A and B are shown apart, each in its own frame.
Chain A
Amino acid sequence: MVQSASDVVTEVDFQLEVWGEPCPYPVVATLDALKQMQSGETLEVVTDCLQSINNIPTDAKRHGHQVLEVEQQGPQVRVVIRKA
């Protein structure tokens, strides 16, 4: 489920956790967090809102950022994004 092995990072610059929140808050929080970061920095979003798998990666890309990793493990989703 990992997008591309060469893009996978083990360390990230920022981490965002969103627990128990319904849509659209996880994706809104992600885009807000990216706004606070510098270009080139990486963000790891971890959430238990499964729907996020349909929106965080798509929206991050559409807003110009690079999605490095998408992973779903049971009820948790991880998305790693590099800010454009």
Chain B
Amino acid sequence: MRRPAWPTCLLSLAFSMGENVVSWQAFKQAYLIRFWSPVPAVIAAGVLSAIFFGLTGGLWAVTGEFTRWGGHLAQLFGAHPENWTYFQIIGLKGTPLDRAGGMMLIGMFGGALAAALWANNVSIRLPQHKRRIAQAVIGGALAGFGARLAMGCNLAAFFTGIPQFSLHAWIFALATAVGTYLGAKLTLLPMFRVPLKLTKGGAKRNIAQDKQKASNRFRLGMVIFGLMAIWGVVTLLDSPKLGIALLFGMGFGLLIERAQICFTSAFRDMWITGRTQMAIAIVLGMAVSALATFSYIELGLTQKVMWAGPNVVIGGVLFGIGIVLAGGCETGWMYRAMEGQVHFWWVGLGTILGALGLAAMWDSVATPLATSWPKVNLLESLGPWGGLGMTFALLGLSLLAILWWEKRFFARQRQEN
């Protein structure tokens, strides 16, 4: 199956308009309905996140804001989380509409929903087994707790953290790799398996979709997309940072849903089936992003560097176990929840509760695990070019390690057969 590399979409649109044969139907089918190839999409996400940093000085990040949503939830129940130390660090003022992080999440949810509607991918899918609900909530909570302990999830402590040249993101990546390995072992235990529904064959199943419904859904997706885009532009005039956050959030939402970008699978599937495509894509995406981010930092933007302490190791391992158990990380559950996969609504709830739990117990763990440790900035410790060189050397090493693992995985498989 050939799928279009999505950045070619604009090119081919330009060409076809030049020849005056632009066919809306063909464009719609190829670029709005078919899934995008994940590899160029991840690289595009890397570019987009670097530009977002350049424009706003902020990171593409999500769990900090989910923690604040947990804080609002606690406020509803009469608690005063605004006085907790953790919320003094990350802030808990106003509503999500007043914060770049909140607008980013709303944009991502809206973008993912619009994209899912375009392709008629929205369908309420209920979990078929009770144990999956438990898995979703516990996995989500572990991931939310671990992410906030480490001060970032697969974004701020990994995909957008490594391009910030913060040592904590490298430690988190390693710890997450270990955690996902443990998570993969756990998830494949007999207690989490259900019987195969394998039947003796016959004619192929009919999976045809209702054409009328599909085209209604497409229109609804376009309306949501259009309204959000207008909202973004209007906000931009008044408060540039919030408008940019909403519009970039939409872009990220579109990318993760349309290309089904799953950071969990990047780690997990290396261990389970030996597939390395997504892991390689993410390394390439971070390389592009690191270079672009570096140029902004050289021009004077302030980096986001976090404590490199035991909090990152423990947080990364818990996060790794949690995302594999839940079946999706912080970005993964967002687009799946919009597609109507109810399993991931539970994951979202677990994530918010887990993150809130960490915020509640922050005072007792902060000093020994995090705040007494240095914030190591690779561009300071090794100098700008040394830090950049080290980052690229580590990315190259990661690529080699991934390829080595793939080779070893299939060599072992051949021996077993």
A residues near B (Cβ < 8 Å) are 1, 3, 9-25, 27-29, 31-33, 36, 42, 44, 46, 48-51, 53-55, 57-59, 62-63, 70-76, 78, 80
Contacts and interface: CB of A to CB of B under 8 A. Distances in A.
A70 B188 CA distance: 26
Contacts of A9: 204
Nearest to A2: B1
Closest 10 CB pairs of A and B: A22-B327, A74-B120, A75-B123, A74-B209, A12-B201, A20-B128, A76-B207, A13-B201, A70-B1, A59-B273
B299 interface: no
Interface stretch (B56-64, B257-265, B290-298): B257-265
Given A11-B202, A75-B120, A62 B410 contact: yes
B198 A59 contact: no
Chain B's interface size range is 35 or more
Contact of B343 (A10, A14, A20, A80): A20
A4 to B, nearest CB: 9
A16 B275 contact: no
Contact of A17 (B127, B197, B262): B197
Given A24-B268, A29-B196, A44 B201 contact: yes
B339 A55 contact: no
B203 interface: yes
Contacts of A27: 269, 272-273
A71 B127 CA distance: 23
Contact of A50 (B132, B203, B207, B339): B339
Given A23-B327, A55-B273, A14 B125 contact: no
Q: Determine the main DSSP class of A at the interface with B.
A: mixed
20 contacts: A10-B204, A11-B202, A11-B203, A15-B198, A17-B197, A20-B126, A20-B342, A22-B132, A24-B268, A28-B273, A33-B198, A44-B204, A46-B205, A50-B35, A54-B277, A55-B273, A58-B275, A62-B275, A70-B1, A74-B119
A8 B297 CA distance: 53
A53 B136 CA distance: 22
Contacts of B273: 24, 27-28, 31, 55, 59, 62-63
Contact of A20 (B127, B187, B278): B127
A28 B272 contact: yes
A59 B1 contact: no
A53 to B, nearest CB: 6
B121 interface: yes
A33 B125 CA distance: 23
Interface string B328-353: 10000000100111111000000000
A23 B267 CA distance: 12
Interface string B272-295: 111101100000000000000000
B189 interface: no
Contacts of B125: 19-20, 48, 75
A60 B124 CA distance: 28
A3 B327 CA distance: 28
A52 to B, nearest CB: 9
Nearest to A42: B201
Contact of A46 (B38, B207, B268, B410): B207
B121 A50 contact: yes
Contact of A14 (B128, B188, B200, B265): B200
A67 B209 CA distance: 23
A25 B325 CA distance: 11
B388 interface: no
Contacts of A58: 275, 277
Nearest to B121: A75
B399 interface: no
Interface in B198-250: 198-205, 207-209, 214
B275 A59 contact: yes
A59 B197 CA distance: 20
B343 A78 contact: no
Interface string B7-48: 000000000000000000000000000110010000000000
Contact of B198 (A16, A49, A73): A16
B35 A53 contact: yes
B265 A24 contact: yes
A14 B201 contact: yes
A31 B197 CA distance: 13
Contact of A24 (B120, B123, B187): B187
A21 B128 contact: yes
Contacts of A29: 196
B182 interface: no
A55 B265 CA distance: 9
